[in-house]
């Protein structure tokens, strides 16, 4: 076992080599998974599109409103609400943790009403993850040792899974979780690298990332995207993390809640990817490493920011995340603090091959107010360079007149506010130098389409395989 772990810990920090064909279903389709025994818990849960107010209270119980709502609603203050069981979730992160997996889990579970604690296993709260994104954890793992959690969920990534494995406090918490038959789960490399040496996969059917499946006991390893075995849930990688997270919601809150979350994530929408013109391979090609600017603000949709950055960096694009706020740390839509690479004022005179605007209602409003960003976008279009937006941010382009004579898509909550001859009901739309996306669960396809436009379908397919995500080249 020691030799196995030593060989695992020597692997590179990201982009695992894939040893088998990726067969993951896209997040817009219902995943088929094996269930040894389904763990059932109370089913009541509230939903809204309103993010938590602060990091200190990420699990703020929210009123039942339309998932597409953009109007803030005060939380209920009733005896019925007070009687709802609080579901407490621990998600640990360490140096090299897979950022997509960590952020998707935190976002989805907080949206479902769980009190999610993002805990650092490092000496500091600020943690650099596998593809360069830096998050600020809520607390140190040492503060969690005496707490009881309804769920402990481990993200993968390398060397992140090793960092989790070597944390004695986390090991004790997770072992106690298993001994007391409470929910625990792991995704990507974590089942093989973290749970296996802890002895927490005994008599459990388990799946994990294809690059690590050979580390699992052969008679217990399965190649499904999602595997539930009594109180343990495992999944294969970033490309299956939406299904993994929705399954955890189902086990914590029940089927009705998981169905509402699927709607919020736009997992129930049509799955076509529309291009106004024929998709020409590498027709965005440049004679240098493509430079991409992603501006962020307080309230930006954290899933979209982290997913796009993660996937584009896997393809070796030069991605710069800039804050339009006065500080580098930016608070995302669901209480996740993301540390930007720079302030936007410091890149005002720089040239980028592509500017991408992330969504989130509050974040889009704050991006819209940035004079520097308006200037950059105007110059981007006038110079014939590429630009794009996801979720609610096409509204920014609309207000600046940058959607004229263009086909685009947007989140359903803001699509009706744009010109009817502009909006197309598809997940991703490419019209010349403009690329737009509906948001959330379509973010991986959005990022992969960008990669294909710069480098061709071959590189996009290779990146998708590492994600365990089905890439469609058409």
Catalytic residue among 171, 304, 445, 470: 304
In whole angstroms, how far apart are CA 227 and each of 31, 98, 205, 236? 11, 20, 7, 9
* Contact yes or no for 230/37 (Cβ under 8 A): yes
3-state secondary structure at position 151: strand
CA-based nearest residue to 283, from 390, 383, 408, 432: 432
What DSSP state is assigned to residue 7?
Answer: H
Residues in Cβ contact with 451 at an 8 Å cutoff, skipping those fewer than 6 apart: 311, 312, 315, 317, 459, 460, 463
Residues in Cβ contact with 80 at an 8 Å cutoff, skipping those fewer than 6 apart: none
Concatenating the DSSP letter of every residue in 231-265 gives TEEEE--GGGHHHHHHHHHHHHH-HHHHHHHHHHT
Catalytic residue among 144, 167, 391, 437: 391
* Contact yes or no for 279/450 (Cβ under 8 A): no
Concatenating the DSSP letter of every residue in 283-322 gives TT--SSPPEEEEEE-TT--HHHHHHHHHHHHHTT-EEEEE
Residues in Cβ contact with 102 at an 8 Å cutoff, skipping those fewer than 6 apart: 91, 93, 118, 129, 135, 155
Residue 411 appears among annotated catalytic residues:
yes
Half-sphere exposure of 174 (CA within 13 A, CB side): 29
- How is the beta sheet containing 337-339 ordered, strand by strand? 126-128, 134-136, 337-339, 329-331
Catalytic residue among 115, 334, 398, 411: 411
CA separation for the pair 39, 110 (Å, rounded): 20
Residues across the chain = 474
In the structure encoding, which two tokens stand for residue 225, read together?
């995207």
Residue 12: CB atoms within 10 Å: 11
Residue 304 appears among annotated catalytic residues:
yes
Residue 231 appears among annotated catalytic residues:
no
CA-based nearest residue to 97, from 287, 310, 251: 310
Which residues are catalytic, by number? 304, 391, 411
């Amino acid at each position: 076992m020691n030799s196995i772990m030593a060989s695992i810990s020597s692997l590179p920090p990201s982009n695992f080599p894939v040893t088998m064909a990726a067969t993951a279903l896209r997040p817009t389709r219902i995943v088929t998974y094996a269930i040894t025994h389904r763990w059932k818990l109370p089913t009541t849960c509230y939903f809204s599109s309103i993010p938590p107010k602060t990091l200190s209270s990420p699990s703020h119980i929210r009123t039942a409103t339309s998932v597409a709502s953009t109007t803030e609603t005060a939380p209920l203050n009733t005896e019925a609400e007070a009687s709802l069981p609080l579901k407490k979730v621990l998600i640990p992160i360490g140096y090299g943790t897979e950022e997509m997996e960590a952020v998707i889990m935190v976002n989805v579970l907080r949206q479902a009403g769980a009190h999610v604690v993002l805990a650092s296993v490092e000496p500091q709260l600020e943690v650099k993850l596998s593809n360069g994104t830096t998050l600020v954890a809520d607390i140190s793992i040492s503060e969690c040792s005496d707490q009881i959690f309804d769920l402990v969920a481990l993200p993968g990534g390398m060397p992140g899974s090793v960092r989790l494995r070597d944390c004695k406090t986390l090991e004790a918490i997770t072992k106690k979780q298993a001994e007391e038959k409470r929910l625990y789960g792991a995704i990507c490399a974590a089942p093989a690298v973290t749970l296996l040496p802890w002895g927490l996969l005994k008599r459990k059917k388990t799946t994990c990332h294809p690059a690590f499946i050979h580390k699992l006991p052969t008679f217990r390893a399965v190649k499904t995207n999602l595997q539930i075995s009594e109180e343990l849930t495992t999944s294969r990688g970033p490309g299956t993390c939406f299904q993994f997270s929705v399954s955890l919601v189902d086990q914590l809150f029940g089927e009705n809640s998981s169905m509402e979350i699927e709607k919020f994530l736009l997992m129930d929408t049509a799955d076509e990817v529309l291009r106004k013109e024929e998709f020409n391979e590498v027709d965005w090609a440049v004679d240098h490493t493509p430079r991409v600017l992603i501006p962020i603000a307080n309230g930006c949709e954290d899933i979209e920011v982290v997913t796009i950055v993660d996937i584009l960096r896997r393809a070796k694009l030069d991605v710069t995340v800039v804050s339009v706020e006065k500080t580098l740390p930016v608070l995302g839509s669901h209480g996740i603090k993301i540390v930007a690479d720079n302030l936007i004022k410091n890149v005002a005179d720089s040239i980028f091959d592509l500017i991408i605007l992330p969504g989130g209602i509050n974040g889009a409003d704050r991006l819209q107010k940035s004079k520097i960003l308006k200037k950059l976008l105007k110059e981007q279009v006038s110079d014939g360079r590429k630009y794009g937006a996801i979720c609610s941010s096409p509204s920014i382009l609309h207000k600046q007149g940058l959607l004229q004579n263009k086909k685009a898509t947007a989140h359903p909550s803001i699509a009706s506010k744009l010109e009817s001859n502009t909006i197309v009901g598809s997940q991703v739309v490419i019209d010349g130098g403009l690329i737009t996306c509906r948001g959330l669960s379509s973010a991986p396809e959005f990022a992969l389409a960008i990669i294909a436009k710069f480098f061709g379908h071959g590189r996009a397919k290779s990146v998708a395989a590492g994600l365990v995500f089905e890439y469609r080249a058409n």
